[in-house]
Amino acid sequence: MRASLLQIGVDEGESVDSRRRRVASLVREQAGADLVVLPELWTTGAFAYESFTAEAEPLDGPTHEAMAEAAADAGVWLHAGSIPERAAPDSGSAAGEGPLYNTSLVFSPSGDLAAAYRKIHRFGFDKGEAVLMGAGADLVTVRLPGTTLGMATCYDLRFPELFRGLVDAGAETFVVPAGWPERRRAHWTLLARARAVENQAYVLACGTAGTHAGVPQAGHSIVVDPWGEVLAEAGSGEEILTVDLDPAKVAATREQFPALKDRLLGLETPRR
């Protein structure tokens, strides 16, 4: 299974529309891959909080349209990273706008939306995403030929219980789009490897390059195998990381070193 991670440069000098067109072309160039992965909030930049409202779009908005077409043209599964989603207002609420979410979209090779995941853990503590966006509530997995994807986004990487929940839901390959800052790059690499080792799963973690809202991005997208080995790691600039994965390695690792079977806590039915 061939995966291509597109570490997109997100700088303020490029408009959202032209970046969307550029990214669609890059996705089309990945024909021959099985899975293509984009970063978190690559239309706006994950730290460009002021632009979230202006650039928010419904689930079936311009990014959905452009990425569905690009996935179908390339004939690939596309994890299109995430968008600032403007949800419909609640039917019971007063007239006005619905909430914002940081929502990841996955398209099938025929361009159909296969899954949407609203980021559960929002970054920023008492500002930014944490106050502007709503929290997702659902764990999401997607079945692909050969592997089941588990979806998580950026700051989610710091919450191991999310990943354990995804394993319980059948995940074998975690896809983590991100806009991770350079300042905490060491955490990014360490956490990506930790989530792979503790869950005996592939981790495909795709970040951005460039600087937006004054925050230099780490880049360093990384692919880790179920034993924790780093299969590929990008530098800090815009880059495409292409890696061949062996989906059977997940089951083999879990069988040869069955640590997941020794879990005692957090199970619905305790083993001992």
Ligand X SMILES: NC(=O)CCC(=O)C(=O)O
46 counts as binding ligand X under rule CB under 6 A: yes
101 lies in the site for ligand X, by CB under 6 A: no
Q: Which listed residue (180, 199, 201, 203) binds ligand X by CB under 6 A?
A: 180
For ligand X, the closer of residues 64 and 121 by Cβ is: 121
Active-site residues, by number, are 40, 119, 154
Q: Which long-range contacts does 220-225 make (Cβ < 8 Å, 24+ apart)?
A: 220/185, 220/188, 220/189, 221/5, 221/7, 221/39, 222/188, 222/189, 222/192, 223/3, 223/5, 224/192, 224/193, 224/195, 224/196, 225/196, 225/249
Note whether 158 binds ligand X by CB under 6 A: yes
Q: How far is the CB of 44 from ligand X (least distance, A)?
A: 11
Q: How far apart are CA 267 and CA 260, in angstroms?
A: 11
DSSP state of 123: S
Contact range with ligand X by CB under 6 A, out of 19-27, 53-61, 91-99, 153-161: 153-161
CB proximity list for 239: less than 8 A, separation 6 or greater: 7, 209, 219, 221
Task: Record the tokens describing residue 176, joined without a space.
Answer: 């983590």
Binding status of residue 36 toward ligand X by CB under 6 A: no
155 binds ligand X (CB under 6 A): yes
Q: State yes or no: residue 128 binds ligand X (CB under 6 A).
A: no
**2 touching ligand X, by CB under 6 A:** no
Which residues contact ligand X by CB under 6 A? 40, 46, 123, 154-155, 158, 179-181, 184, 187
